[in-house]
Amino acid sequence: MISGFFSISETSMMAVNRYRLRHLAQQGRSGARRVLALLNQTDRLLATILLGNNLVNAALTALVTALAIQSFGNNDSVLAVATGLVALAIIIFAEITPKILGASRPEPIAMATSLVLTPLVRYGYPLVVIVNGMVSGLIRVMGLRKLTESPQQQAMSPQELRTAILESTRLIPAKHRSIMLNLFDIEDLTVNDVMVPRGRIEALDLESEPAALIDQLTTCFHNKLPVFEGDLHNIVGILHVRKAMALLSRDEFNHESLREALTEPYFVPSGTPLFTQLQYFQENKQRIGLVVDEYGEIDGLVTLEDIIEELVGEFTTQAPGDQSLGLRWEEDGSIIVDGTAPIRELNRRLGIQLPIDGARTLNGLLLETLEDLPDAHVSVKIAEVPMEILQTQGRLIRRVRLSRPKIRPDQ
Given a cut of 90, whether residue 57 has pLDDT beyond it is: no
Average the pLDDT over 278-290 and give the result: 91
Average the pLDDT over 351-361 and give the result: 84
pLDDT of residue 144: 65
CB-CB neighbours of 212 under 10 Å: 12
Average the pLDDT over 388-401 and give the result: 87
Q: What distance in Å separates the CA atoms of residue 389 and residue 379, rounded to the nearest whole number?
A: 6
Q: What distance in Å separates the CA atoms of residue 396 and residue 338, rounded to the nearest whole number?
A: 10
What's the chain's length in residues? 411
Which candidate, 48, 312, 317, 20, places its Cα nearest to that of 183?
312
Given a cut of 80, whether residue 395 has pLDDT beyond it is: no
pLDDT of residue 129: 83
In tens, the pLDDT along 177-232 reads 777 887 877 878 889 888 888 878 899 999 889 888 888 888 888 889 999 998 89
Given a cut of 80, whether residue 69 has pLDDT beyond it is: yes
Q: What distance in Å separates the CA atoms of residue 169 and residue 259, rounded to the nearest whole number?
A: 54
Burial 89-123 (b: 16+ CB within 10 A, else e): ebeeebbeebbebbeeebbebbbbbbeebeebbee
Q: What distance in Å separates the CA atoms of residue 105 and residue 96, rounded to the nearest whole number?
A: 15
Q: What distance in Å separates the CA atoms of residue 190 and residue 204, rounded to the nearest whole number?
A: 26
In tens, the pLDDT along 119-128 reads 998 888 888 8
pLDDT of residue 410: 47
Q: Say if residue 224 is exposed, middle or buried (CB neighbours under 10 Å; 0-12, 13-18, 19+).
A: middle
Q: Are 330 and 399 in contact (CB under 8 A)?
A: no
pLDDT of residue 141: 82
pLDDT of residue 230: 87
pLDDT of residue 321: 47
Q: At 148, is the pLDDT very low, low, confident or very high (cuts 50, 70, 90)?
A: very low
**DSSP line for 136-187:** HHHHHHTTPPP----GGGSPPPHHHHHHHHHT-TTTS-HHHHHHHHHHHHGG
Q: Say if residue 258 is exposed, middle or buried (CB neighbours under 10 Å; 0-12, 13-18, 19+).
A: buried
Least confidently predicted of 180-189, 259-268, 297-306? 180-189
Q: What distance in Å separates the CA atoms of residue 375 and residue 15, rounded to the nearest whole number?
A: 62
Which are the contacts of 22, defined by CB distance < 8 A and separation ≥ 6?
A: 32, 36
Q: Are 398 and 366 in contact (CB under 8 A)?
A: no
Average the pLDDT over 104-130 and give the result: 89
pLDDT of residue 407: 58
Average the pLDDT over 248-255 and give the result: 86
